[in-house]
Structure 1
Amino acid sequence: MTTLRLSHRLAVAALLTLATASAWAQAWPSKPVRIVVGFSAGGPTDVVARAFAEHAARALGQPVIVDNKPGANTILAAEAVAAAPADGYTLLMAATNHTMIPALYSARVKFDAVRSFAPICTLAVSPTVLVTGPAMTAKTLGAFMQQVREAPGKRSYGTPGTGSSGHFASEQFLRMTGLSMNHIPYKGAAQVVTDVMGGQLDSSFATLGSVLPQVQGGKLTALAVASPRRSSLLPNVPTFAEAGVKGYTADAWYGLLAPAGTPAAVLQTLEKVAAQFTEQAGTVAKLQSLGMEPQHSCGSTFGADMDRDAKAYAQLARALDLKAE
């Protein structure tokens, strides 16, 4: 009799849990949703966040507000979301650099870049592209690599800063190929592009969105795209694999995260909204104008990719003795 009573109680508890989850899903959202962005307004992460917020507000029937919280290489924004209630009303629009935080700020951060968050979906991706200017005569990746081999440690590449996604992408390429180049860190991407065009820098591993107009205008030469497949925006530019460097990819992603513990029903609703967003013709056109492509990778798949990237960046940071405390 005791066993039967216990089984009955467990069954009732399970039914109550399901009923509560169902009620939560129907009630959410009952107030505005906030998307925190760790960059200033106008940058690619902010643009993706605002485009998604506009779509999500229509889909959810509640205002979706973008809250820019720049500072400390997006750590301030990530901390705010990690510490927020796990109720679906505070989300983080993250980018690739989110998985670099543990590698660079291990002694400073108060959260786990992967486990403190529930992965929802990636929304867009911008491939890394190797570009050169007038300082190099190479018109193919093979010729570029030959010129670098002929002057080890003398050819330069510029990045938006030490520990930036461009820096990691560049060092990954150099380690895979055994080449040696001189790293010139800047305080942003714009001046890097200007100096490659002006011949002060030899090259840059840049996100496509930051150099697309210059490549299309003939001011920069794109040698290879670090994606599994060619970009529809640069269909004549080969991937690194096609050009002879197999296994090298360095896509910059933009994706939506929630605090760990957010109800599954809420996450599932947001996944559906994200899928609708990436499939809209207007979204595709807007993202492509910024050098991005829509991408829809959700839940455990997105989480596994984040975990893999965080481990890879940590290993590379240790090898290069990179710290940004």
Structure 2
Amino acid sequence: MTAGGAAQAQAPAYPTKPVRVVVGFSAGGPTDVMARAFADYAARKLGQSFIVENKPGANTILAAEAVASAPADGYTLLVGATNHTMIPALYSARVKFDAVKSFAPICTMAISPTVLVVGPAMKAANLDAFLQQVKAEPGKRTYATAGSGSSGHFASEQFTRLTDTRMNHIPYKGAAQAVIDLMGGQVDSSFATLGSVLPQVQSGKLQALAVAAPQRSPLLPQVPTFEEAGVKGYSADAWYGLLAPANTPPAILAALQETAQGFAKEPNTVEKLRGLGMESQSVCGAPFGEQLQREVQNYSQIARELNLKTD
């Protein structure tokens, strides 16, 4: 037997039974669609069923709790999103896990950049014109979000701090109504995930002024980044990624990282994600863990400054 064959023989077999993939959102949403696409890919590559389990509730706390308390054997995984790192900022008194330490980061698989959009109530051809109007009437101009403490709320507050501006926050119970009112002129603007407003931007019902990402989005190539438009250091990508319980064996994590990276690169994945307003991405292992830690600290600081409290 060759040395390579011996090493392969000594490697622990994984997986030898079906793998549970837990999602903290209802079926049909972008996180769920991506999770099911990953599960299909992983089943083909690793030769075992990957079964998606939707466990919505408590802003994904229930799903994260289920995975954090599961055996660290690679058979229970979490497909999480950006709001995972907002949990400590909003719910520290009630959660039974640590958003970073209770998990082994595997890989991000997709991102959906935040985009600043305006409706008919605010005539602004570009980001500079938007800022001029906001600064001319401090606190008067409005921005809509999917709710207090949502990713859009945090993204908006980061922007106002960076630009030394004041705007009036109008929280909604979900993104759909916020977009409707933005198109109807009831509110001026929104810092929204690209997937939630892409059809409206493409149809001309909303105008995108800038994308909060390091590079322009292939879905909106004509829209500049905030960096290009003159606001330096502003980034608010929403990520979607794969995590396992802490202390999962390194060999299993390596197999899952390789699978997640392969999934993100597959042409069918790229096409499916773009239909959801997402772009494929792989940040794996320690760099993903460092990203999680930075976000927890950042969101916790903003929540303290805003005195955000959640039941």
TM value normalised by structure 2: 0.96
Deviation per CA, 1:241-266: give whole Å up to 9, x if none. 11110000000000000000101000
1:258 to 244, 257, 267: 244
Residue 26 of structure 1, CA deviation: 3.5
* Residue 197 of structure 1: aligned partner: 183
Q: Does the residue aligned with 2:133 lie in a helix, a strand or coil?
A: helix
Residue 28 of structure 1, CA deviation: 1.4
Letter paired with 1:305: Q
Q: Distance in 2 between matches of 1:184 and 1:48?
A: 30
1:222 to 198, 208, 219: 208
* Residue 6 of structure 1: aligned partner: none
Q: Distance in 1 between matches of 2:95 and 2:9?
A: 35
* Residue 256 of structure 2: aligned partner: 270
Residue 22 of structure 1, CA deviation: 7.0
1:175 maps to 2:161? yes
Q: Distance in 2 between matches of 1:119 and 1:22?
A: 27
Residue 42 of structure 1, CA deviation: 1.1
* % identical equivalent positions: 71
| Pairing of 1:158-169 with structure 2 (within 5 A) | 158-169=144-155
* Residue 241 of structure 1: aligned partner: 227
Residue 90 of structure 1, CA deviation: 0.2
Q: Distance in 2 between matches of 1:208 and 1:233?
A: 9
* Residue 265 of structure 2: aligned partner: 279
Residue 129 of structure 1, CA deviation: 0.0
Q: Does the residue aligned with 2:52 lie in a helix, a strand or coil?
A: strand
* Residue 104 of structure 2: aligned partner: 118
* Residue 323 of structure 1: aligned partner: 309
Change in 2 beyond 3 A, CA 1:143/1:111: same
Structure 1, unaligned runs of 5 or more: 1-18
* Residue 26 of structure 2: aligned partner: 40
| Pairing of 1:1-325 with structure 2 (within 5 A) | 23=10, 25-325=11-311
Q: Distance in 2 between matches of 1:22 and 1:155?
A: 65
Q: Distance in 2 between matches of 1:170 and 1:50?
A: 31
Deviation per CA, 1:187-209: give whole Å up to 9, x if none. 11111111111101101000001
Root-mean-square deviation over aligned CA pairs: 1.4
Q: Does the residue aligned with 2:243 lie in a helix, a strand or coil?
A: strand
Q: Distance in 2 between matches of 1:62 and 1:238?
A: 43
* Residue 3 of structure 2: aligned partner: none
- 8 Å Cα contact 1:22-1:265 kept in structure 2: no
Change in 2 beyond 3 A, CA 1:68/1:20: farther
Q: Distance in 1 between matches of 2:59 and 2:195?
A: 20
Change in 2 beyond 3 A, CA 1:21/1:185: farther
Q: Which has more radius of gyration?
A: 1
> How many residues were matched structurally?
306
Q: Distance in 2 between matches of 1:20 and 1:87?
A: 21
Letter paired with 2:274: Q
Q: Does the residue aligned with 1:131 lie in a helix, a strand or coil?
A: strand
Residue 289 of structure 1, CA deviation: 1.2
- 8 Å Cα contact 1:120-1:270 kept in structure 2: yes
Letter paired with 1:255: G
TM value normalised by structure 1: 0.92
4+ aligned runs moved over 3 Å, structure 1: 19-23
* Residue 10 of structure 1: aligned partner: none
Q: Distance in 1 between matches of 2:241 and 2:149?
A: 20
Moved more, 297-306 or 25-34: 25-34
Q: Distance in 2 between matches of 1:230 and 1:323?
A: 34
Residue 323 of structure 1, CA deviation: 1.5
